[in-house]
């Protein structure tokens, strides 16, 4: 008996059986059905559907890349309630690297086979479009082969506004300096009711979506995230996924969706606590089922921990990001268990093999570099 038959003959509700039927016949589920999945579906049922889609799209392939992060500064003009990382100028714990320091970080990778640098930081009041553009150009002089995935829509809005140019012009300028793609951060929760409570000051939902749309139109691909597990409810999560699915229908420019679990240490939402690991897996699965037009779902292991990232591979996830090389602080400051996130290629490959999947090293755009099977 195939899994379709098992679900048909099981004693789950008719409404969940109808959703399963849709998934098995490649039909899109509605927002109401998405909420129903969150509210009513068991973990095993969600895993079965999400894994069906994952294997249909990618078989057992599980992608990772060799990358490192640069966080130019944690000084930020905003005060997002969930942020453990933000500092003000001269505050204890603040950092801002000079251009030379940043370039030295890139030079440390000379001769190493990394393919991507991921650059994200706070919104520094004194830095602008040309400072960051020049930084990218200088990085490219050192490593012309490196893919530069840089700046969340929040950072982009600020630097483009400050330069007094249109979104299109600002993005075009950055592309000319060498920007290759845009990471998914800054999305948080799109629904205005939640956004105004957790990050009222920074780029609005519409601005986030407009920036990604404008980037896609110029051939700059991007990722998308959700920051879940704080004050939002299931309806807000589905609303978020729905806005992303609509934009992806329009542009096709998103590569990967990355659900980011709210971590509670050292921020003003600490009292809320964190959702369970079961909820993390359910969230990956619903994301995979709802976002039928997103090629990839990523589990960001520095935030989740290695074992949960491994488990997520049975709940719709096909990508576990990269080797990272201890170059990010965002999650260790927010309480992630791994204080020095770093995995050798061998460790990443073994992690994937232990759960009978095929480790594939990819570049940022999912071109296959090496099959480790
Ligand atoms: O936008 C901040 C999140 C994001 C907390 O595109 C927190 O490949 C959990 O976007 N608990 C930045 N999350 C990181 C990001 C990212 C990470 C990995 C890969 C990619 C990609 C993008 O970090 C922020 C915010 O949503 N964040 N504080 C916290 N306490
Ligand atoms: Fe600034 Fe980003 Fe932290 Fe918000 S999440 S305060 S924009 S660094």
154: CA distance to ligand 2 center in Å? Answer: 8
Question: Nearest-CA neighbor of 331 among 69, 84, 78, 68?
Answer: 84
Q: Which domain holds residue 172?
A: 56-362
Residue 209 maps to a domain: yes
Q: What is the whole-number distance in angstroms between the Cα of residue 263 and the centre of ligand 2?
A: 14
Q: Could you give the maximum distance between any two Cα atoms of the chain, in Å?
A: 65
329 pLDDT above the threshold of 90: no
Q: Is residue 115 part of a domain?
A: yes
Spatial CA neighbour of 277 closest among 239, 234, 311? 311
Q: Is the CB of 372 under 6 A from ligand 2?
A: no
- 151 located within any domain: yes
Q: What is the model's pLDDT at position 259?
A: 97
- The C-alpha atoms of residue 226 and residue 221 are separated, in whole angstroms, by 18
**Residue 170: pLDDT band with limits 50, 70, 90:** very high
DSSP 30: P
pLDDT per position as a tens digit, 68-101: 999 999 999 999 999 999 999 999 999 999 999 9
**Inter-CA distances, 202 with 93, 153, 154, 345, Å:** 22, 10, 6, 36
Calculate mean pLDDT across residues 55-76. 96
DSSP track, 324-373? -TT---TTTTTT-S-SS----HHHHHHHHHHTT-EEEEE-TT--EEEE--
| Measured CA distances, 236 to 13, 120, 337, 359 (Å) | 24, 26, 27, 34
364 C-beta closer than 6 A to ligand 1 = no
> Which ligand minimizes its atom distance to the CA of 268?
1
- Going by C-beta distance under 8 Å and a sequence separation of 6 or more, which residues neighbour residue 164? none
Kindly state whether residue 146 falls inside one of the protein's structural domains: yes
Q: Does residue 246 lie in a domain region?
A: yes
Average pLDDT of the chain is: 94
Tokens of 75: 């000084």
CATH of the domain at 94: 3.20.20.70
**Please, which pLDDT band fits residue 140 given cuts at 50, 70 and 90?**
very high
The count of domains in the chain is 1
- Tell me the pLDDT tens digit for each residue of 269-296: 999 999 999 999 999 999 999 999 999 9
CA of 315 to the centre of ligand 1 (A): 20
Answer whether 153 contacts ligand 2 (Cβ < 6 A): no
201 located within any domain: yes
Structure tokens at 327: 């170059």
- pLDDT band of 191, cuts 50, 70, 90: very high
Q: Is 344 exposed, middle or buried (0-12, 13-18, 19+ CB in 10 A)?
A: exposed
Q: Which ligand is nearest to the CA of 74?
A: 2
What is the number of the ligand closest to the CA of 79? Answer: 2
Radius of gyration of the chain (CA): 20
Structure tokens at 146: 């490196």
Domain-located, residue 19: no
Going by C-alpha positions, the residue among 282, 274, 278 that lies closest to residue 336 is: 274
- Domain-located, residue 170: yes
Residue 122 CB contacts under 8 Å (≥ 6 apart), including other chains: 73, 74, 75, 76, 77, 78, 85, 86, 87
Q: What is the pLDDT of residues 39-52, one digit of tens each?
A: 999 999 999 999 99
Q: Which of the two residues, 303 and 285, has the higher pLDDT score?
A: 285
**80: number of Cβ within 10 Å:** 21
Alpha-carbon torsion angle 253, 255, 259, 264, nearest 10: -90
């Amino acid at each position: 008996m195939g899994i379709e038959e098992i679900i048909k003959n099981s004693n789950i509700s008719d409404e969940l059986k109808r959703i399963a039927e849709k998934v098995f016949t490649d039909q899109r589920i509605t927002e109401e059905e998405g909420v129903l999945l969150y509210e009513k579906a068991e973990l095993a049922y969600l895993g079965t559907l999400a894994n069906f889609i994952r294997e249909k799209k990618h078989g057992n392939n599980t992608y990772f890349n060799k990358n490192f992060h640069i966080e130019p500064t944690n000084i930020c003009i905003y005060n997002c309630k969930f942020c453990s990382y933000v500092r003000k100028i001269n505050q204890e714990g603040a950092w801002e690297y000079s251009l030379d320091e940043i370039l030295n970080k890139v030079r440390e990778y000379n001769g190493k086979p990394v393919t991507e640098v991921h650059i994200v930081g706070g919104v520094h009041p004194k830095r602008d479009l040309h400072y960051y553009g020049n930084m990218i150009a200088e990085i490219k002089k050192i490593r012309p082969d490196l893919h530069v995935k840089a700046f969340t829509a929040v950072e982009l809005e600020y630097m483009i506004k400050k330069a007094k140019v249109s979104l299109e012009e600002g993005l075009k300028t950055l592309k000319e300096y060498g920007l290759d793609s845009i990471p998914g951060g800054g999305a948080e929760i799109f629904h205005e009711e939640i956004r105004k409570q957790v990050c009222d000051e920074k780029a609005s939902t519409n601005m986030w979506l407009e920036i990604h749309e404008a980037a896609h139109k110029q051939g700059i691909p991007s990722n998308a995230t959700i920051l879940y597990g704080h004050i939002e409810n299931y309806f807000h999560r589905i609303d978020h996924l729905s806005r992303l699915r609509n934009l992806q229908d329009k542009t096709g420019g998103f590569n990967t969706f990355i659900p980011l679990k709210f971590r509670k240490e050292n921020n003003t939402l600490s009292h809320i606590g964190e959702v369970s690991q079961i909820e993390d897996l359910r969230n990956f699965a619903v994301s995979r089922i709802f976002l039928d037009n997103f090629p990839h779902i990523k589990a960001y292991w520095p935030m989740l921990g290695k074992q949960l990232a491994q488990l997520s591979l049975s709940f719709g996830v096909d990508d576990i990001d990269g080797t990272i090389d201890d170059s990010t602080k965002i999650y260790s400051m927010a309480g992630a268990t791994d204080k020095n996130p770093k995995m050798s290629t061998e460790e990443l490959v073994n992690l994937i093999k232990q759960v009978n999947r095929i480790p594939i090293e990819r570049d940022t755009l999912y071109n296959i570099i090496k099959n480790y099977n």
